[in-house]
Amino acid sequence: EASYDLGQDFLINWQLEGGNFRYMYDWLTGTWVEDDHQVRQAGSLWGISTCYRYKPSDTTKVALDKGLRFWFANTIPGPTEGTLSLRYPGDPTIHSGSVALVALAIIEYLMTDAPMEEAWETELKSKLDGYLAFLQYLQLPDGHIAKDYHHQRAKRSKRSSPYYDGESLLALTKAGNQLGYDSLVPTIEKAARAMAERYTIESWAKDRDSKDTKGFFQWGSMSFVE
């Protein structure tokens, strides 16, 4: 419990006024590293949301709401009807992992045993519907999820990432299992089979110490539990 409190405070203290987070601190030089990464920004928000679900508090809710509003302010219509995408400041592409982690933050929030304003809950569900539909749009013919989507070209990547595959699969399975999004099941079944095969059997045939397996395994394990 003490570790939990310290970890939550660490995340909250690193949040900037705009809702995003400081990226890195160099303990040796005592200076901030002025860098950024959209997926880790979204991951920090999921961390806050997970903390809030575990132990709701007013302080955590303020940070969570501020973080979600940052992403909502950078939400744009997706490539097809019913989809919502994200445009991360200064980046021409949006990574599927970013969308998945923001979706996961909303899922944890909606599953939290705490009161919520009806209007805010409606907005959360609307955004979640759009983000999940976008992840479905990003599914490639082989079952994997496209690594990213280029806004100006209006094209999804032909490649996938073990990290983003796993994050996307976890968002889809949590939404399906915990929130009852049954429409996601065909996408999940196609993705889960393809990812399990690629990141175990196929990867180990090439390298028993596969980096692809390392990228996917924690996300895949959580997904398969769902």
pLDDT digits (tens, 9 = 90+) for 124-172: 999 999 999 999 999 999 999 999 999 999 999 999 999 999 999 999 9
Task: Mention every residue, 6+ apart, whose C-beta is less than 8 A from residue 17.
Answer: none
Taking the mean position of all CA atoms in its chain, how far away is CA 132?
A: 10
In percent, how much of the chain has pLDDT > 70? Answer: 100
Q: How confident is the model at residue 34 (pLDDT cuts 50, 70, 90)?
A: confident
Residue pair 11/44 in contact (Cβ under 8 Å)? The answer is: yes
**Interval 190-197 mean pLDDT:** 98
Structure tokens belonging to residue 89: 């400041």
* CA separation for the pair 23, 87 (Å, rounded): 18
Give the three-class secondary structure for 44. helix
pLDDT at 87 over 90: yes
- What letter represents residue 46's amino acid? W
Mean pLDDT of the chain: 97
Residue pair 15/71 in contact (Cβ under 8 Å)? The answer is: no
The pTM assigned to this predicted structure is 0.96
Residue pair 142/152 in contact (Cβ under 8 Å)? The answer is: no
Annotate 135-182 with three-state secondary structure.
HHHCECCCCCEECEEECCCCEECCCECHHHHHHHHHHHHHHHHHHCCH
Residue pair 100/168 in contact (Cβ under 8 Å)? The answer is: yes
Residue of 166, 211, 214, 164 lying closest to 192 (CA atoms): 166
* CA separation for the pair 106, 138 (Å, rounded): 19
**Interval 107-135 mean pLDDT:** 97
- What letter represents residue 85's amino acid? S
pLDDT at 208 over 90: yes
Q: How confident is the model at residue 210 (pLDDT cuts 50, 70, 90)?
A: very high
**Interval 14-35 mean pLDDT:** 93
* CA separation for the pair 226, 41 (Å, rounded): 24
